[in-house]
Amino acid sequence: MRRRLPVIIAFGIGFAMLIQYFIPHPRSEEFYNVIVQQWFIIIYAFMYIFALRSFFMHHITKVKKKKEGYIFSAVAMVSVLFMLLSGLITSRGPFFDSLYNYMIAPLQGTMFSLLAFFIASAAFRAFRARNVQATLLLVTATIVMIGRVPIGDYLWRGMPDLVEWIMTVPSMAAMRGIRIGVGLGAVATAMKIMLGIERSYMGGE
Amino acid sequence: MGFWQRFLQLDRKWIFLGIAIVVIIPLIKPIGLPIKPTKPVIDLFTYIDTLGPESGPVMVVTGFDPSTMPELMPMEQALLRHCLTKGIPVISFGGLYPAYIGMAKMAIDEVSADFPDKKYGEDYVFLGFIPGVSAVILSIGIDIATTFGNDYYGTPIDSLPMLRGVKNYSDISLVVDVSGTSTPEYWLMYAQERYGVNIGVACTAVSAPAYYAFLQSGQFVGMMGGMKGAAEYEELMARKGYPTGRRNATIGMDSQSLAHLLIILLIILGNAGYFIVRRGERRRGIIRRKR
Protein backbone atom coordinates (compact mmCIF):
# COMPACT_ATOMS: atom_id res chain seq x y z
CA MET A 1 0.00 0.00 0.00
CA ARG A 2 2.96 2.34 0.67
CA ARG A 3 3.70 2.24 -3.04
CA ARG A 4 0.21 1.77 -4.40
CA LEU A 5 -1.34 4.80 -2.68
CA PRO A 6 1.07 7.40 -4.17
CA VAL A 7 0.53 5.87 -7.61
CA ILE A 8 -3.25 6.12 -7.19
CA ILE A 9 -2.94 9.77 -6.04
CA ALA A 10 -0.55 10.62 -8.92
CA PHE A 11 -2.86 9.00 -11.46
CA GLY A 12 -6.03 10.54 -10.00
CA ILE A 13 -4.77 14.12 -9.69
CA GLY A 14 -2.70 13.99 -12.88
CA PHE A 15 -5.58 12.66 -14.94
CA ALA A 16 -8.09 15.07 -13.34
CA MET A 17 -5.89 18.07 -14.14
CA LEU A 18 -5.38 16.83 -17.68
CA ILE A 19 -9.11 16.45 -18.26
CA GLN A 20 -9.95 19.70 -16.48
CA TYR A 21 -7.86 21.70 -18.95
CA PHE A 22 -10.30 20.81 -21.73
CA ILE A 23 -13.54 21.35 -19.75
CA PRO A 24 -14.51 25.04 -19.32
CA HIS A 25 -17.47 24.18 -17.01
CA PRO A 26 -17.77 26.27 -13.77
CA ARG A 27 -17.42 23.11 -11.64
CA SER A 28 -14.27 22.22 -13.52
CA GLU A 29 -12.92 25.77 -12.98
CA GLU A 30 -13.79 25.56 -9.29
CA PHE A 31 -11.92 22.28 -8.98
CA TYR A 32 -8.92 23.85 -10.71
CA ASN A 33 -8.99 26.88 -8.36
CA VAL A 34 -9.09 24.70 -5.25
CA ILE A 35 -6.24 22.48 -6.46
CA VAL A 36 -4.02 25.37 -7.56
CA GLN A 37 -4.73 27.96 -4.87
CA GLN A 38 -5.00 25.66 -1.88
CA TRP A 39 -3.61 22.15 -2.32
CA PHE A 40 -0.54 22.93 -4.42
CA ILE A 41 0.55 25.88 -2.30
CA ILE A 42 0.03 24.02 1.00
CA ILE A 43 1.98 21.00 -0.30
CA TYR A 44 4.80 23.26 -1.48
CA ALA A 45 4.92 24.97 1.95
CA PHE A 46 5.30 21.55 3.58
CA MET A 47 8.18 20.79 1.23
CA TYR A 48 10.17 23.57 2.90
CA ILE A 49 9.51 22.05 6.33
CA PHE A 50 10.74 18.67 5.09
CA ALA A 51 13.75 20.34 3.48
CA LEU A 52 14.68 21.97 6.80
CA ARG A 53 14.23 18.67 8.63
CA SER A 54 16.38 16.88 6.07
CA PHE A 55 19.03 19.62 6.29
CA PHE A 56 19.29 19.41 10.08
CA MET A 57 19.18 15.59 10.17
CA HIS A 58 22.04 15.41 7.67
CA HIS A 59 24.25 17.92 9.44
CA ILE A 60 23.48 16.79 13.00
CA THR A 61 24.55 13.25 12.02
CA LYS A 62 27.76 14.65 10.52
CA VAL A 63 28.57 16.62 13.68
CA LYS A 64 27.68 13.73 16.00
CA LYS A 65 29.92 11.29 14.14
CA LYS A 66 32.60 13.97 13.68
CA LYS A 67 32.85 13.17 9.98
CA GLU A 68 35.33 15.06 7.79
CA GLY A 69 34.34 18.74 7.52
CA TYR A 70 31.82 18.49 10.37
CA ILE A 71 32.80 21.99 11.49
CA PHE A 72 31.28 23.36 8.27
CA SER A 73 28.07 21.50 9.07
CA ALA A 74 27.99 23.22 12.46
CA VAL A 75 28.56 26.62 10.81
CA ALA A 76 25.79 25.92 8.28
CA MET A 77 23.30 25.02 11.02
CA VAL A 78 24.19 28.03 13.18
CA SER A 79 23.89 30.33 10.12
CA VAL A 80 20.46 28.98 9.19
CA LEU A 81 19.18 29.30 12.75
CA PHE A 82 20.67 32.78 13.14
CA MET A 83 19.05 33.99 9.92
CA LEU A 84 15.74 32.37 10.83
CA LEU A 85 15.68 33.87 14.31
CA SER A 86 16.79 37.32 13.13
CA GLY A 87 13.91 37.33 10.64
CA LEU A 88 11.38 36.20 13.25
CA ILE A 89 12.56 38.46 16.09
CA THR A 90 13.03 41.64 14.04
CA SER A 91 10.04 40.96 11.74
CA ARG A 92 12.36 41.17 8.72
CA GLY A 93 13.59 44.58 9.87
CA PRO A 94 16.79 46.49 8.99
CA PHE A 95 19.03 44.00 10.84
CA PHE A 96 17.65 41.12 8.78
CA ASP A 97 18.06 43.16 5.58
CA SER A 98 21.65 44.02 6.57
CA LEU A 99 22.49 40.36 7.06
CA TYR A 100 21.29 39.66 3.55
CA ASN A 101 22.74 42.75 1.87
CA TYR A 102 26.13 42.78 3.57
CA MET A 103 26.79 39.09 4.24
CA ILE A 104 24.86 36.74 1.95
CA ALA A 105 25.04 38.98 -1.14
CA PRO A 106 28.83 39.59 -1.06
CA LEU A 107 29.58 35.96 -0.09
CA GLN A 108 27.51 34.49 -2.90
CA GLY A 109 28.71 37.13 -5.35
CA THR A 110 32.33 36.34 -4.49
CA MET A 111 31.80 32.60 -4.88
CA PHE A 112 30.29 33.05 -8.32
CA SER A 113 32.85 35.63 -9.48
CA LEU A 114 35.59 33.03 -8.99
CA LEU A 115 34.21 31.43 -12.15
CA ALA A 116 35.74 34.20 -14.26
CA PHE A 117 39.22 33.28 -13.03
CA PHE A 118 38.76 29.55 -13.47
CA ILE A 119 37.16 29.91 -16.90
CA ALA A 120 40.12 31.99 -18.07
CA SER A 121 42.58 29.42 -16.74
CA ALA A 122 40.60 26.48 -18.16
CA ALA A 123 40.25 28.18 -21.56
CA PHE A 124 44.02 28.61 -21.73
CA ARG A 125 44.76 24.99 -20.80
CA ALA A 126 41.90 22.97 -22.27
CA PHE A 127 40.27 24.83 -25.18
CA ARG A 128 42.24 23.21 -28.02
CA ALA A 129 41.50 22.88 -31.74
CA ARG A 130 42.25 19.13 -31.63
CA ASN A 131 39.77 18.12 -34.35
CA VAL A 132 37.20 19.64 -36.73
CA GLN A 133 34.36 19.72 -34.17
CA ALA A 134 36.55 21.29 -31.48
CA THR A 135 37.83 23.86 -34.01
CA LEU A 136 34.27 24.74 -35.03
CA LEU A 137 33.29 25.19 -31.39
CA LEU A 138 36.39 27.23 -30.66
CA VAL A 139 35.93 29.58 -33.63
CA THR A 140 32.20 30.09 -32.93
CA ALA A 141 32.79 30.66 -29.23
CA THR A 142 35.50 33.20 -29.99
CA ILE A 143 33.26 35.11 -32.41
CA VAL A 144 30.35 35.12 -29.93
CA MET A 145 32.60 36.16 -27.06
CA ILE A 146 34.00 39.11 -28.96
CA GLY A 147 30.70 40.04 -30.61
CA ARG A 148 28.72 40.05 -27.36
CA VAL A 149 30.80 42.87 -25.89
CA PRO A 150 31.05 46.48 -27.15
CA ILE A 151 34.68 46.05 -28.14
CA GLY A 152 33.54 43.66 -30.90
CA ASP A 153 31.56 46.44 -32.53
CA TYR A 154 34.52 48.77 -32.02
CA LEU A 155 36.91 46.36 -33.79
CA TRP A 156 34.57 45.49 -36.68
CA ARG A 157 31.14 47.03 -37.35
CA GLY A 158 29.70 43.78 -38.70
CA MET A 159 30.60 41.73 -35.63
CA PRO A 160 27.34 42.24 -33.62
CA ASP A 161 25.27 41.35 -36.71
CA LEU A 162 27.32 38.20 -37.28
CA VAL A 163 26.79 37.19 -33.65
CA GLU A 164 23.07 37.94 -33.88
CA TRP A 165 22.92 35.68 -36.96
CA ILE A 166 24.71 32.88 -35.05
CA MET A 167 22.24 33.24 -32.17
CA THR A 168 19.10 33.46 -34.29
CA VAL A 169 19.89 30.87 -36.97
CA PRO A 170 22.24 27.95 -36.16
CA SER A 171 22.06 28.25 -32.37
CA MET A 172 18.30 28.69 -32.34
CA ALA A 173 17.77 25.78 -34.75
CA ALA A 174 19.80 23.50 -32.49
CA MET A 175 18.01 24.74 -29.34
CA ARG A 176 14.63 24.24 -30.98
CA GLY A 177 15.51 20.64 -31.84
CA ILE A 178 16.71 20.00 -28.29
CA ARG A 179 13.55 21.59 -26.84
CA ILE A 180 11.23 19.48 -28.98
CA GLY A 181 13.10 16.41 -27.76
CA VAL A 182 12.91 17.56 -24.14
CA GLY A 183 9.19 18.34 -24.51
CA LEU A 184 8.39 14.90 -25.91
CA GLY A 185 10.52 13.32 -23.18
CA ALA A 186 8.64 15.30 -20.50
CA VAL A 187 5.27 14.15 -21.85
CA ALA A 188 6.46 10.53 -21.91
CA THR A 189 7.84 10.77 -18.36
CA ALA A 190 4.63 12.40 -17.08
CA MET A 191 2.58 9.56 -18.60
CA LYS A 192 4.91 6.99 -17.07
CA ILE A 193 4.54 8.61 -13.62
CA MET A 194 0.76 8.81 -13.92
CA LEU A 195 0.52 5.19 -14.99
CA GLY A 196 2.86 4.03 -12.24
CA ILE A 197 5.57 2.78 -14.61
CA GLU A 198 8.08 5.35 -13.36
CA ARG A 199 8.27 5.17 -9.55
CA SER A 200 11.70 6.55 -8.73
CA TYR A 201 10.10 9.75 -7.34
CA MET A 202 8.98 7.66 -4.35
CA GLY A 203 12.60 6.96 -3.43
CA GLY A 204 14.29 3.60 -3.17
CA GLU A 205 15.44 1.76 -6.27
CA MET B 1 62.49 22.98 -22.28
CA GLY B 2 61.63 25.55 -24.96
CA PHE B 3 59.78 28.83 -24.57
CA TRP B 4 56.40 27.48 -25.68
CA GLN B 5 56.63 24.45 -23.40
CA ARG B 6 57.38 26.71 -20.47
CA PHE B 7 54.58 29.04 -21.57
CA LEU B 8 52.03 26.20 -21.65
CA GLN B 9 52.93 25.39 -18.05
CA LEU B 10 52.36 29.00 -17.01
CA ASP B 11 51.29 29.17 -13.37
CA ARG B 12 47.59 29.99 -13.24
CA LYS B 13 48.15 32.72 -10.66
CA TRP B 14 49.44 34.93 -13.52
CA ILE B 15 46.22 34.31 -15.45
CA PHE B 16 44.21 35.15 -12.32
CA LEU B 17 46.24 38.34 -11.90
CA GLY B 18 45.63 39.31 -15.54
CA ILE B 19 41.86 38.81 -15.16
CA ALA B 20 41.83 40.79 -11.91
CA ILE B 21 43.64 43.72 -13.59
CA VAL B 22 41.41 43.88 -16.68
CA VAL B 23 38.27 43.65 -14.54
CA ILE B 24 39.22 46.15 -11.84
CA ILE B 25 40.83 48.95 -13.88
CA PRO B 26 37.79 49.75 -16.11
CA LEU B 27 35.57 49.70 -13.02
CA ILE B 28 37.74 52.42 -11.47
CA LYS B 29 38.28 54.33 -14.71
CA PRO B 30 35.54 53.46 -17.27
CA ILE B 31 36.60 53.45 -20.93
CA GLY B 32 33.13 54.29 -22.23
CA LEU B 33 32.95 51.86 -25.16
CA PRO B 34 29.90 52.56 -27.37
CA ILE B 35 26.82 50.37 -26.79
CA LYS B 36 24.74 49.31 -29.81
CA PRO B 37 21.23 48.10 -28.83
CA THR B 38 20.05 44.85 -30.43
CA LYS B 39 16.54 43.91 -31.57
CA PRO B 40 15.41 41.80 -28.58
CA VAL B 41 16.29 44.65 -26.18
CA ILE B 42 14.75 47.32 -28.42
CA ASP B 43 11.55 45.24 -28.59
CA LEU B 44 11.28 44.99 -24.80
CA PHE B 45 12.11 48.67 -24.32
CA THR B 46 9.64 49.79 -26.99
CA TYR B 47 6.88 47.63 -25.56
CA ILE B 48 7.25 49.18 -22.10
CA ASP B 49 7.77 52.65 -23.56
CA THR B 50 4.37 52.53 -25.26
CA LEU B 51 2.66 51.92 -21.89
CA GLY B 52 1.63 54.72 -19.55
CA PRO B 53 -0.13 55.55 -16.28
CA GLU B 54 -3.45 54.36 -17.67
CA SER B 55 -2.06 50.98 -18.75
CA GLY B 56 -2.31 48.00 -16.51
CA PRO B 57 0.64 47.47 -14.18
CA VAL B 58 3.89 45.86 -15.22
CA MET B 59 4.88 42.96 -12.99
CA VAL B 60 8.64 42.73 -12.48
CA VAL B 61 9.51 39.30 -11.14
CA THR B 62 12.82 38.84 -9.34
CA GLY B 63 14.22 35.46 -10.27
CA PHE B 64 17.82 35.68 -9.12
CA ASP B 65 19.97 35.50 -6.03
CA PRO B 66 23.28 37.29 -5.34
CA SER B 67 25.29 34.84 -7.48
CA THR B 68 23.97 36.43 -10.69
CA MET B 69 23.43 39.87 -9.24
CA PRO B 70 26.05 41.76 -11.35
CA GLU B 71 24.26 40.74 -14.54
CA LEU B 72 20.66 40.86 -13.42
CA MET B 73 20.40 43.63 -10.85
CA PRO B 74 21.10 46.39 -13.45
CA MET B 75 18.31 44.90 -15.59
CA GLU B 76 15.80 44.93 -12.76
CA GLN B 77 16.77 48.45 -11.76
CA ALA B 78 16.57 49.69 -15.37
CA LEU B 79 13.09 48.15 -15.75
CA LEU B 80 11.87 49.68 -12.49
CA ARG B 81 13.33 53.08 -13.43
CA HIS B 82 11.73 52.93 -16.86
CA CYS B 83 8.30 52.10 -15.45
CA LEU B 84 8.44 54.70 -12.68
CA THR B 85 9.69 57.36 -15.12
CA LYS B 86 6.78 56.65 -17.45
CA GLY B 87 4.31 56.55 -14.56
CA ILE B 88 3.46 52.90 -15.25
CA PRO B 89 2.20 51.14 -12.09
CA VAL B 90 4.72 48.53 -10.96
CA ILE B 91 4.13 45.26 -9.14
CA SER B 92 7.49 44.09 -7.87
CA PHE B 93 7.15 40.38 -7.11
CA GLY B 94 9.83 38.94 -4.84
CA GLY B 95 10.12 35.77 -6.84
CA LEU B 96 9.28 32.10 -6.88
CA TYR B 97 12.04 30.99 -4.49
CA PRO B 98 12.89 32.38 -1.04
CA ALA B 99 16.47 33.34 -1.95
CA TYR B 100 15.26 36.00 -4.38
CA ILE B 101 13.24 38.21 -2.07
CA GLY B 102 16.32 40.05 -0.75
CA MET B 103 17.36 40.99 -4.27
CA ALA B 104 13.87 42.28 -5.03
CA LYS B 105 13.88 44.40 -1.89
CA MET B 106 17.35 45.75 -2.65
CA ALA B 107 16.25 46.77 -6.17
CA ILE B 108 12.98 48.42 -5.19
CA ASP B 109 14.55 50.21 -2.20
CA GLU B 110 17.38 51.66 -4.30
CA VAL B 111 15.25 52.70 -7.26
CA SER B 112 12.31 54.09 -5.27
CA ALA B 113 14.77 56.30 -3.34
CA ASP B 114 15.50 58.09 -6.65
CA PHE B 115 11.78 58.75 -7.20
CA PRO B 116 10.64 60.55 -4.02
CA ASP B 117 7.43 61.70 -5.72
CA LYS B 118 6.29 58.09 -6.24
CA LYS B 119 4.21 56.67 -3.42
CA TYR B 120 4.18 53.08 -2.22
CA GLY B 121 0.79 51.50 -2.75
CA GLU B 122 -0.19 54.06 -5.38
CA ASP B 123 2.65 53.90 -7.91
CA TYR B 124 4.32 50.64 -6.95
CA VAL B 125 3.76 47.68 -4.66
CA PHE B 126 6.01 44.93 -3.38
CA LEU B 127 4.69 41.38 -3.14
CA GLY B 128 6.65 38.84 -1.14
CA PHE B 129 7.49 35.19 -1.54
CA ILE B 130 4.75 32.56 -1.64
CA PRO B 131 5.70 28.87 -1.85
CA GLY B 132 4.42 27.03 -4.87
CA VAL B 133 6.52 27.99 -7.95
CA SER B 134 4.26 26.94 -10.87
CA ALA B 135 1.19 26.92 -8.59
CA VAL B 136 1.85 30.57 -7.71
CA ILE B 137 2.06 31.51 -11.40
CA LEU B 138 -1.22 29.70 -12.07
CA SER B 139 -2.83 31.16 -8.96
CA ILE B 140 -2.05 34.76 -9.98
CA GLY B 141 -4.06 33.99 -13.10
CA ILE B 142 -7.07 33.30 -10.87
CA ASP B 143 -6.78 36.04 -8.24
CA ILE B 144 -3.79 38.06 -7.01
CA ALA B 145 -5.41 39.03 -3.68
CA THR B 146 -6.25 35.41 -2.79
CA THR B 147 -2.79 34.24 -3.82
CA PHE B 148 -0.81 36.72 -1.75
CA GLY B 149 -3.26 37.96 0.88
CA ASN B 150 -0.84 40.67 2.03
CA ASP B 151 2.07 42.52 0.46
CA TYR B 152 5.65 42.09 1.72
CA TYR B 153 5.04 44.54 4.59
CA GLY B 154 1.88 42.80 5.75
CA THR B 155 -0.62 45.26 4.26
CA PRO B 156 -3.72 43.54 2.87
CA ILE B 157 -3.68 43.56 -0.94
CA ASP B 158 -7.25 44.91 -1.03
CA SER B 159 -6.22 48.05 0.82
CA LEU B 160 -3.50 49.01 -1.69
CA PRO B 161 -5.00 51.69 -4.01
CA MET B 162 -2.85 50.64 -6.97
CA LEU B 163 -4.18 47.09 -6.92
CA ARG B 164 -7.85 48.04 -6.81
CA GLY B 165 -9.27 46.73 -10.04
CA VAL B 166 -6.26 44.49 -10.65
CA LYS B 167 -7.60 40.98 -10.22
CA ASN B 168 -5.36 38.76 -12.33
CA TYR B 169 -3.26 38.62 -15.51
CA SER B 170 -6.05 40.12 -17.58
CA ASP B 171 -5.39 43.44 -15.79
CA ILE B 172 -1.60 43.27 -16.13
CA SER B 173 0.13 44.78 -19.20
CA LEU B 174 3.32 42.78 -19.02
CA VAL B 175 5.20 40.33 -16.82
CA VAL B 176 9.00 40.62 -17.01
CA ASP B 177 10.88 37.76 -15.41
CA VAL B 178 14.39 38.85 -14.41
CA SER B 179 15.82 35.40 -14.05
CA GLY B 180 19.06 33.57 -13.41
CA THR B 181 17.36 30.17 -13.75
CA SER B 182 14.83 28.53 -16.06
CA THR B 183 11.79 30.29 -14.52
CA PRO B 184 10.98 32.22 -17.76
CA GLU B 185 9.86 28.86 -19.15
CA TYR B 186 7.43 28.46 -16.25
CA TRP B 187 6.00 31.91 -16.94
CA LEU B 188 5.71 30.96 -20.60
CA MET B 189 3.98 27.63 -19.91
CA TYR B 190 1.67 28.65 -17.09
CA ALA B 191 1.05 32.40 -17.52
CA GLN B 192 1.48 33.13 -21.23
CA GLU B 193 0.09 29.92 -22.65
CA ARG B 194 -2.80 29.50 -20.19
CA TYR B 195 -3.79 33.12 -19.51
CA GLY B 196 -2.36 34.94 -22.53
CA VAL B 197 -0.41 37.55 -20.56
CA ASN B 198 2.55 39.17 -22.35
CA ILE B 199 5.94 38.03 -21.09
CA GLY B 200 9.31 39.76 -21.31
CA VAL B 201 12.57 38.15 -20.25
CA ALA B 202 15.72 39.47 -18.65
CA CYS B 203 18.20 36.64 -18.22
CA THR B 204 21.87 35.79 -17.88
CA ALA B 205 24.00 35.63 -21.04
CA VAL B 206 24.37 31.88 -20.66
CA SER B 207 20.56 31.40 -20.64
CA ALA B 208 19.81 33.75 -23.54
CA PRO B 209 20.37 31.28 -26.44
CA ALA B 210 17.60 29.07 -25.02
CA TYR B 211 15.01 31.82 -25.42
CA TYR B 212 15.62 33.00 -29.01
CA ALA B 213 13.11 30.42 -30.27
CA PHE B 214 10.39 31.95 -28.07
CA LEU B 215 11.31 35.44 -29.23
CA GLN B 216 10.96 34.42 -32.85
CA SER B 217 7.60 32.77 -32.18
CA GLY B 218 6.39 35.97 -30.48
CA GLN B 219 5.78 34.24 -27.14
CA PHE B 220 8.22 36.65 -25.48
CA VAL B 221 7.80 40.33 -26.38
CA GLY B 222 11.51 41.04 -25.91
CA MET B 223 14.61 40.04 -24.04
CA MET B 224 17.62 41.43 -22.24
CA GLY B 225 20.40 38.86 -22.36
CA GLY B 226 23.34 39.21 -20.00
CA MET B 227 25.03 42.36 -18.83
CA LYS B 228 25.19 43.51 -22.45
CA GLY B 229 21.38 43.44 -22.61
CA ALA B 230 21.23 45.55 -19.45
CA ALA B 231 23.77 48.00 -20.89
CA GLU B 232 21.72 48.26 -24.10
CA TYR B 233 18.59 48.98 -22.06
CA GLU B 234 20.46 51.68 -20.12
CA GLU B 235 21.62 53.13 -23.44
CA LEU B 236 18.05 53.23 -24.78
CA MET B 237 16.93 54.93 -21.57
CA ALA B 238 19.73 57.51 -21.89
CA ARG B 239 18.87 58.19 -25.55
CA LYS B 240 15.31 59.01 -24.49
CA GLY B 241 16.61 61.28 -21.74
CA TYR B 242 15.22 59.10 -18.93
CA PRO B 243 17.07 58.91 -15.60
CA THR B 244 19.44 55.93 -15.64
CA GLY B 245 21.17 56.09 -12.27
CA ARG B 246 24.81 55.00 -12.20
CA ARG B 247 24.58 52.80 -15.36
CA ASN B 248 26.27 49.86 -13.64
CA ALA B 249 25.84 47.55 -16.64
CA THR B 250 27.44 50.03 -19.04
CA ILE B 251 30.42 50.43 -16.71
CA GLY B 252 30.60 46.66 -16.27
CA MET B 253 30.68 46.13 -20.03
CA ASP B 254 34.12 47.76 -20.23
CA SER B 255 35.45 45.18 -17.77
CA GLN B 256 33.68 42.39 -19.60
CA SER B 257 35.06 43.56 -22.97
CA LEU B 258 38.64 43.49 -21.72
CA ALA B 259 38.13 40.19 -19.86
CA HIS B 260 36.76 38.58 -23.05
CA LEU B 261 39.69 39.96 -25.03
CA LEU B 262 42.15 38.54 -22.53
CA ILE B 263 40.46 35.12 -22.58
CA ILE B 264 40.51 35.10 -26.39
CA LEU B 265 44.18 36.05 -26.35
CA LEU B 266 44.86 33.21 -23.90
CA ILE B 267 42.96 30.75 -26.12
CA ILE B 268 44.95 31.85 -29.20
CA LEU B 269 48.29 31.70 -27.39
CA GLY B 270 47.37 28.39 -25.77
CA ASN B 271 46.54 26.87 -29.16
CA ALA B 272 49.60 28.38 -30.81
CA GLY B 273 51.79 26.91 -28.08
CA TYR B 274 50.01 23.56 -28.29
CA PHE B 275 50.58 23.22 -32.07
CA ILE B 276 54.17 24.49 -31.97
CA VAL B 277 55.09 22.07 -29.18
CA ARG B 278 53.24 19.20 -30.89
CA ARG B 279 54.98 19.93 -34.21
CA GLY B 280 58.33 20.00 -32.42
CA GLU B 281 57.61 16.67 -30.72
CA ARG B 282 56.55 15.11 -34.03
CA ARG B 283 59.74 16.33 -35.70
CA ARG B 284 61.86 14.92 -32.93
CA GLY B 285 59.95 11.65 -33.27
CA ILE B 286 60.65 11.57 -37.03
CA ILE B 287 64.34 12.29 -36.47
CA ARG B 288 64.53 9.48 -33.89
CA ARG B 289 62.82 7.07 -36.28
CA LYS B 290 65.25 8.04 -39.08
CA ARG B 291 68.21 7.42 -36.82
Number of domains within chain A: 2
To the question of domain B39-246 being in CATH 3.40.50, the answer is yes
Residues of chain B with Cβ-Cβ distance to A47 below 8 Å are 131
Residues of chain B with Cβ-Cβ distance to A146 below 8 Å are 260-261, 264
> Sheet containing B199-203: which strands, arranged edge to edge?
B124-127, B90-93, B58-63, B174-179, B199-203, B220-225
Residue A193 lies in a domain: yes
Each residue's pLDDT tens digit in chain A (205 positions)?
777 898 999 999 999 988 988 888 899 888 888 888 888 888 988 998 999 999 999 999 999 999 999 999 999 999 999 999 999 998 888 899 899 999 999 999 899 889 889 999 999 988 898 899 999 999 999 999 998 898 888 888 888 889 989 999 999 999 999 999 999 999 999 999 999 898 888 876 5
The DSSP-derived string for A122-141 is HHHHH----SHHHHHHHHHH
Contacts of B55 (CB under 8 A, 6+ apart): B88, B89, B173
Residues B143, B167 contacting (CB under 8 angstroms): yes
Residue A74 lies in a domain: no
Q: Which domain holds residue A42?
A: 1-46
- Residues B244-290: pLDDT tens digits? 888 999 999 999 999 999 999 999 999 999 999 988 888 877 655 55
- In A, minimum Cα distance to B209 occurs at A167
Q: How far is A42 from chain B (nearest CA, A)?
A: 8
Residue A191 lies in a domain: yes
Q: Are B34 and A176 inside 8 Å of each other by CB?
A: no
Q: Which of B70, B106, B209 sits opposite A175 (nearest CB)?
A: B209
Q: Which of B105, B135, B262 sits opposite A41 (nearest CB)?
A: B135
Distance CA B205, CA A154 (A): 20
Q: Are B259 and A37 inside 8 Å of each other by CB?
A: no
Q: Which of B133, B142, B256 sits opposite A149 (nearest CB)?
A: B256
B-contacting residues in A 55-114 (Cβ below 8 Å) = 97, 100-101, 104-109, 111-113
Residues of chain B with Cβ-Cβ distance to A112 below 8 Å are 66-68
